[in-house]
Amino acid sequence: MMASGYNAKDEDGHITVSGPGGGTLPSRKPENTAFKQQRLPAWQPILTAGTVLPAFFIIGLIFIPIGIGLYVTSNNIKEFEEPSKECEPYAKHENKPIAPCGAIANSMFNDTLELFYNDPNGTKVQIILTTTGIAWWTDKHVKFKNPGLNNPNLTAVFQGTTKPVNWRRPVYELDTDPNNNGFINEDFIVWMRTAALPTFRKLYRIINKSNNNMVPTLPRGNYTLEVGYNYPVRSFDGRKRMILSTISWMGGKNPFLGIAYITVGSVCFFLGVVLLIIHHKCGNRNNSADISN
């Protein structure tokens, strides 16, 4: 036999059952609050060109000056590390500090290259190879400095030090020109700018262009290259080459930059065509805001 009764629900979601054995049963309905019933106010931004582009420009105008200030401030901070781990295992030799120290400096390229033009008359004319201007200006005038507050007597400045193990001459005898000697020697500076890959090129010398544009810098004919072999490479199966190259407004031969621009431009153009076709076929022409649909 079933007992008769009725059910009722209050505002809190509880169910009341009347009749024999009746009582209040909990309901699974969430409580009648703004949070649980999702009646809280919400804000959803509408991304349009009029709101997004100004935001990009404002952020750029704010962040760029801040970044420049932080970068300049960081570069003005002076740091000195004694001893330095970068010098190992070429920090000292015979209980004297090595100048310059480190494995990179110790392996500096020290071959001498001389180029001669074989004149049809049978004489050899030496081509002038410029030793200055091969290093970055910032490297020579900012990054690399000689100790001793520009003391012209580099022999006294480097007294108490010894040359790297594989060097034939000490650092203060790299050049007779005081403006290209010691740590500011451009051959040394170029070598210390290490390459990312095992196969690399280093600028050795510059052949200045003649004042008369009608006269070629290197006339057509036979040339002789004399190499002073000081840099052994057989122990590690290395190779050495001398490359004569012209330059353009962008410097030497480097196809990577052109390939990168072509690749990025082609990808952007392709994506633009694809999006244009999708918009033309699927987009709502009456409402440009529905392009995302």
Does 94 share its domain with 218?
Answer: yes
**What pTM was computed for the model?**
0.64
Domain-located, residue 21: no
The residue range of the domain holding 269 is 254-288
Do 243 and 258 reside in the same domain of the chain? no
Mark whether 134 and 171 lie in a shared domain.
yes
In a domain, 39, yes or no: no
Whether 269 is in a domain gets the answer yes
User: Which tens digit of pLDDT belongs to each residue from 94-134?
Assistant: 889 999 999 999 999 989 999 999 988 888 999 999 988 99
Structural domain contains residue 267:
yes
Is 127 domain-assigned? yes
The Cα 178–Cα 57 span in angstroms is 49
pLDDT value at position 4? 52
Distance CA 194, CA 132 (A): 19
Lowest mean pLDDT among 2-6, 40-44, 156-160, 274-278: 2-6
- Joined tokens for residue 101: 């120290």
Q: Which of 4-8, 133-137, 139-143, 186-190 has the lowest mean pLDDT?
A: 4-8
Residue 176 has a pLDDT of: 87
Whole-number percent of the chain with pLDDT over 70: 84
**Six-digit token string for 98:** 């090595």
Identify the three-state secondary structure at position 10. Answer: coil
227 and 115 in a common domain = yes
Do 163 and 194 sit in the same domain of this protein? yes
How far apart CA 205 and CA 186 sit, in angstroms, is 10
- Tens digit of each residue's pLDDT (9 = 90 or more) over 241-289: 888 888 887 777 778 888 999 999 999 899 888 888 888 888 655 555 5
Give a yes or no: residue 7 inside a domain: no
Are residues 274 and 141 located together in one domain of the fold? no
Q: Are strands 96-97 and 92-93 parallel, antiparallel or unpaired?
A: antiparallel
Least confident of 4-8, 164-168, 243-247: 4-8
Do 97 and 217 belong to one domain? yes
pLDDT category at 1 given cuts 50, 70, 90 is very low
Residue 144 sits in the same domain as residue 222: yes
| Domain membership flag for residue 15 | no
> Are 99 and 241 part of one and the same domain?
yes
Is the domain of 191 the same as that of 106? yes
Task: Give dist(CA 63, CA 57) in Å, integer.
Answer: 10
One domain, residues 175 and 217: yes
Kindly compute the dihedral angle of the four CA atoms of residues 270, 276, 278, 281, in this order, to the nearest 10 degrees: -140
Residue 276 lies in a domain: yes
How many domains in the chain? 2
Please report which confidence band the pLDDT of residue 192 belongs to, taking 50, 70 and 90 as the band edges: very high
- pLDDT confidence bin for 291, thresholds 50/70/90: very low
Q: Are residues 225 and 262 in the same domain?
A: no
